[in-house]
């Protein structure tokens, strides 16, 4: 196999600015075929611009992007019918029914719903009970599924999904990721973006993106493990006071709310964990936190993201 048939997406130094705003600031990455690749980052990080460039809808200022071996600028017509693109903003026809939307998108690509039924069956079966309902009357989760269905109806080789789960409740989000797993098994390459850090673990590999730059590219596990400080989870009934107390401790590198506890990273990178934990306990007891529980914690993708942004005060400077 040549590099072109194994690599689904190859991006070299792609940049795009709008006026004085740098949306994407020179990024490079490659995605092999059949990979589920996630861009994890907040609004304004550059995810949408990058997806629009890959979908041949926007021309980069510099750099080169190839999708399925085709250049996105010079070879866009060969590429368009092979890409399934789901924009971040809901972009189906709200006045058309579920079925009418699907038939329309199928016809644009010169095919029919009946001919493509097998391809979209896993997702279409969930929509079928509502096929006469107008798209505008669907819940958020169902809208996203319909949009995915429309992006799949012409049997693309690659899916570009821009924030498909944003604003959708936790149950629908899980179902959506389960569906992506199903399509991945069929050999499809999937690029997906999300602001939800917990969704990173559903991807084969991820890129952390912020301010138009890629902060890291690796497997979710490796990104999480790249967090290089002793990390503890600390709990107490009075979280806010606990947070303020720890902010004032000289050994604190970073402390921030994390689920039911606070995550605390220590400045002392070479001390044994047990000693740091005992130190912390003594400090908290002296400050009157008699119910505080201190336990070593495994870093997550989100801890790593926060550290790479420059710690909890990083956003202030950004």
Question: How far apart are the C-alpha atoms of 193 and 48, rounded to whole Å?
Answer: 8
What separation in angstroms does the CA of 137 have from each of 132, 146, 150, 157?
11, 12, 17, 30
- Kindly write down the DSSP assignment for every residue of 237-248, as one continuous string: S-HHHHHHHHHT
Question: How far apart are the C-alpha atoms of 37 and 40, rounded to whole Å?
Answer: 10
Nearer to other proteins, 116 or 303 (CB): 303
Tell me if 27 contacts other proteins by CB under 8 A.
Answer: no
Which alpha helices (H) appear in the chain, and where do they start and end? Answer: 3-6, 47-54, 76-80, 98-108, 117-127, 140-152, 170-185, 220-225, 239-247, 273-286, 301-308, 314-317
Please select the residue that binds other proteins; options are 137, 228, 271, 291, rule is CB under 8 A: 137
Q: Give residues 102-131 in contact with other proteins (rule: CB under 8 A).
A: 129-130
Tell me if 42 contacts other proteins by CB under 8 A.
Answer: yes
Tell me if 166 contacts other proteins by CB under 8 A.
Answer: yes
What is the DSSP-derived secondary structure letter of residue 285?
Answer: H
Tell me if 243 contacts other proteins by CB under 8 A.
Answer: yes
Other beta carbons within 10 Å of 139: 12
> Considering only 49-57, 102-110, 195-203, 281-289, which stretch makes contact with other proteins by CB under 8 A?
195-203
Min. distance of Cβ 179 from other proteins in angstroms?
A: 15
Under DSSP, is residue 229 helix (H, G, I), strand (E, B) or coil?
coil
Enter the tokens of residue 131.
Answer: 């096929």
> Considering only 4-12, 38-46, 108-116, 181-189, which stretch makes contact with other proteins by CB under 8 A?
38-46
Nearer to other proteins, 8 or 246 (CB): 246
Tell me if 171 contacts other proteins by CB under 8 A.
Answer: yes
Min. distance of Cβ 175 from other proteins in angstroms?
A: 9
Size, binding site for other proteins by CB under 8 A: 46
Min. distance of Cβ 177 from other proteins in angstroms?
A: 12
Binding letters toward other proteins, positions 260-289, x by CB under 8 A: x-----------------------------
Phi, psi of 95 (to 5 degrees): -85, -10
Enter the tokens of residue 200.
Answer: 């990173």
Residues that bind other proteins (CB under 8 A): 41-45, 129-130, 133, 137, 139-142, 166-174, 195-198, 210, 239-240, 243, 256-260, 302, 305-306, 309, 311-316, 318
């Amino acid at each position: 196999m040549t590099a072109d048939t194994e690599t689904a997406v190859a991006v070299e130094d792609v940049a795009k600015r709008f006026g004085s705003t740098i949306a994407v600031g020179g990024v490079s990455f490659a995605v092999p075929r059949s990979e589920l690749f996630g861009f994890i980052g907040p609004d304004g990080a550059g995810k949408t611009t990058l997806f629009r460039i890959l979908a041949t809808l926007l021309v980069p200022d510099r750099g080169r992007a190839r999708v399925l071996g085709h250049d996105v600028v010079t070879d866009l017509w060969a590429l368009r019918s092979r890409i399934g693109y789901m924009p971040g903003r809901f972009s189906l026809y709200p006045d058309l029914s579920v079925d009418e939307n699907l038939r329309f998108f199928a016809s644009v690509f010169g095919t029919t719903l009946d001919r493509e039924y097998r391809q979209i069956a896993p997702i279409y079966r969930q929509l079928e009970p509502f096929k006469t309902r107008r798209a505008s009357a669907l819940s958020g989760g169902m809208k996203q599924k319909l949009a995915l269905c429309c992006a799949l109806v012409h049997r693309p080789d690659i899916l570009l999904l821009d924030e498909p789960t944003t604003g959708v409740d936790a149950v629908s989000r899980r179902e959506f990721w389960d569906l992506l797993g199903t399509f991945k098994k069929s050999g499809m390459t999937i690029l997906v973006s999300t602001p939800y850090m917990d969704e990173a673990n559903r991807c084969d590999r991820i890129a952390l993106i912020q301010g138009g730059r890629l902060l890291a590219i690796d497997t979710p596990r490796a990104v999480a493990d790249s967090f290089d400080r002793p990390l503890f989870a600390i709990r107490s009934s009075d979280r806010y006071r606990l947070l303020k107390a720890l902010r004032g401790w000289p050994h604190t590198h970073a402390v921030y709310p994390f689920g039911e506890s606070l995550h605390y990273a220590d400045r002392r990178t070479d001390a044994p964990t047990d000693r740091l934990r005992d130190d912390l306990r003594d400090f908290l007891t002296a400050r009157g936190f008699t119910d505080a529980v201190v336990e070593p914690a495994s870093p997550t993708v989100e801890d790593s993201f926060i550290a790479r942004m420059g710690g909890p005060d990083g956003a202030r400077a950004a």
